[in-house]
Amino acid sequence: MRAEIAAYLHHMRGVRCQPEQIVVGAGTYHSLDLLFQLLREDVVCMASEEAVNDGVKALFGQFRFDCRPLRLESDGICLEELQATGAQAVYVTPSHQFPYGMTLSAGKRLKLLQWAKERRAYIVENDYDGEFRYSGRPIPSLQSLDDDGRVIYVGTFSRALTPAFRLSYLVLPPALLARFRSRRHSYDQLASPIFQMTQQLFMQSGDFGRHMRKMRSVYHKKRDALLYAVRDTFPAGVEMIGADSGLHLLLRVRGEKDEAELVRAAAREGVGIYPASAYRLRSEADEAPTVLLGFGGLSEADIREGVRLLARAWKMESSLNK
């Protein structure tokens, strides 16, 4: 299966690796747990995007890195803040930042790689939603641009298939691969052998590639349904963020309600949304209330109905829809 993953990553994301550099895990957090064990010898200070998902936040606490949150700009992390941290590693989701949705620009990618080369630091590249980009030219992975063995690539099949299909992988650079082989960790192979064989056969047959092309088209249509519904339903006081890729977008809502009130009001109408502030590593008191809307598991009809109910819950329907 590792040979199939290596070929797929090279074709889709430009990743350059040999099959033996790939370590299969039972989900992203399982893979990151192993990676952080391997990094403990080199890393005391870990810089990170200022907002991450709950599992990553928990792992930062578990491994007791001196974690330095980095401000997010429209094109990714603030590199000036990174330079000032003295960090030995940085965690990024460059294809589709979670949860804020921006893409790390090509220029910043090159500067980030230069920083890692000069400091002999590591870049943990979680290529979250890298397969699902809907506009603009595809941007290559950081790993594909790395000539110095400073990028650790993290990927998963859960987004492409189902969360219950817990298969993830690391692409380790040579120094960390040697450390992994020396068994300086408590890693156990928890990924189901049946799932691994199933995925291998799925990829070998070519059906996985066809599935991915189909799902990109399906999710693109769902994303468009959500965009049009929000634009047609809400007044100008609602801003959409991070809609160019991935399976969610954010709404920044300017009004009297705070995030908690927006979430509770939506829940009363049967609509599930999530407060963006819950993912932050540091609080920003002046940020307008921002909520996350996922669309991957919904039909286009359900998306439109959900937006209608959301506007009713917030009493923010556009005059065109009253």
Question: What are 184-193's pLDDT values in tens digits?
Answer: 666 667 888 8
Mean pLDDT of 240-257: 88
> Would residue 128 be called left, alpha or beta, if left means φ above 0 and alpha means ψ between -120 and 50 degrees?
beta
Tokens of 277: 């502030």
The angle subtended at Cα 159 by Cα 156 and Cα 163, nearest 5°, is 90
Following DSSP, what letter does each residue of 274-294 receive, concatenated? EEGGGGBSS--TTSPPEEEEE
Distance CA 67, CA 71 (A): 13
User: Which of 21-25, 29-33, 156-160 bottoms out in mean pLDDT, i.e. has the lowest?
Assistant: 156-160
Is the per-residue pLDDT at 318 higher than 70?
A: no
pLDDT of residue 284: 67
| pLDDT band at residue 143 using 50, 70 and 90 as cut-offs | very high
Mean pLDDT of 213-222: 92
Distance CA 197, CA 102 (A): 35
pLDDT of residue 150: 97
- Quick: pLDDT tens for 80-125: 999 999 999 999 999 889 999 889 999 999 999 999 999 999 999 9
Distance CA 200, CA 246 (A): 25
CB 7, CB 48: distance < 8 Å? no
DSSP 8-class letter at 55? H
| pLDDT band at residue 183 using 50, 70 and 90 as cut-offs | confident
Q: pLDDT: is 209 or 320 the higher one?
A: 209
Looking at domain 209-321, its CATH class is alpha beta
What backbone torsions phi and psi does residue 172 show, to the nearest 5 degrees? -90, 135
Distance set, CA 53 to CA 6, 112, 169, 233, 274 (Å):
26, 22, 18, 29, 12
Following DSSP, what letter does each residue of 219-243 receive, concatenated? HHHHHHHHHHHHHHHS-TTEEEE--
Report the chain's mean pLDDT, rounded to a whole number. 90
Distance CA 150, CA 52 (A): 21
Record: fold of 2-205: Aspartate Aminotransferase; domain 2 (3.40.640)
Q: Name the residue ranges covered by the structural domains of the chain.
A: 2-205, 209-321
Query: Which residue, 144, 149, 69, is CA-closest to 106?
Result: 144
pLDDT of residue 320: 41
Mean pLDDT of 248-263: 91
CB 149, CB 125: distance < 8 Å? no
CB 252, CB 280: distance < 8 Å? no
**Helix orientation angle between 54-63 and 28-39, rounded to the nearest 10 degrees:** 30
Distance CA 279, CA 53 (A): 6
Tokens of 202: 């799925």
Mean pLDDT of 165-174: 92
